[in-house]
């Protein structure tokens, strides 16, 4: 089950529950129609079970946004595959944002 919790006027978190245990979460910030993905996390023992996909789809369906922005480590192939599958496009890169690794900036326009 996925539940949304409002943290502030702009920030929310979607929690993925199995009973009373949180298996993953998606933290977002929505300002002036731009939704920023702050963090997406799934417990290591719960990965490869479509939890991240479920969290992203829930957020995409429920939020009122013009576009979604995120950044991801260029070497995080699993996340890149997920975001591409969900319709995100690469728009920019930040050199050495993650130490020696670059950050890929992606967006999805509604």
E strands, 8-66, in order: 11-18, 21-31, 34-42
If one counts every other C-beta atom within 10 angstroms of the C-beta of residue 55, the result is 23
Q: How many domains does the chain have?
A: 1
Domain of residue 43 covers 2-109
Q: What is the pLDDT of residues 1-49, one digit of tens each?
A: 999 999 999 999 999 999 999 999 999 999 999 999 999 999 999 999 9
Greatest CA separation found in the chain?
Answer: 41
Cβ neighbourhood burial of 78 (10 Å; 0-12, 13-18, 19+): exposed
Nearest in space to 67 (alpha carbons), one of 109, 28, 27: 109
Q: Which residue has the tokens 């944002």?
A: 97
Cβ atoms 29, 35 nearer than 8 A: yes
What is the pLDDT, as a whole number, of residue 97?
87
Tell me, what CATH number does 79's domain have?
3.40.630.30
């Amino acid at each position: 089950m996925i539940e949304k919790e409002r943290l502030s006027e702009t920030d929310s978190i979607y929690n993925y529950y199995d009973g009373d245990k949180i298996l993953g979460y998606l933290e977002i910030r929505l300002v002036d129609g731009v939704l920023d993905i702050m963090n997406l996390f799934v417990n290591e023992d719960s990965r490869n079970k479509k939890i991240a996909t479920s969290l992203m789809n829930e957020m995409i369906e429920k939020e009122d946004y013009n576009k979604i922005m995120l950044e991801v480590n260029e070497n995080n192939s699993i996340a890149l595959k997920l975001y591409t599958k969900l319709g995100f496009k690469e728009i920019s890169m930040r050199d050495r944002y993650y130490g020696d690794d670059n950050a890929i900036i992606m967006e999805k326009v509604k």
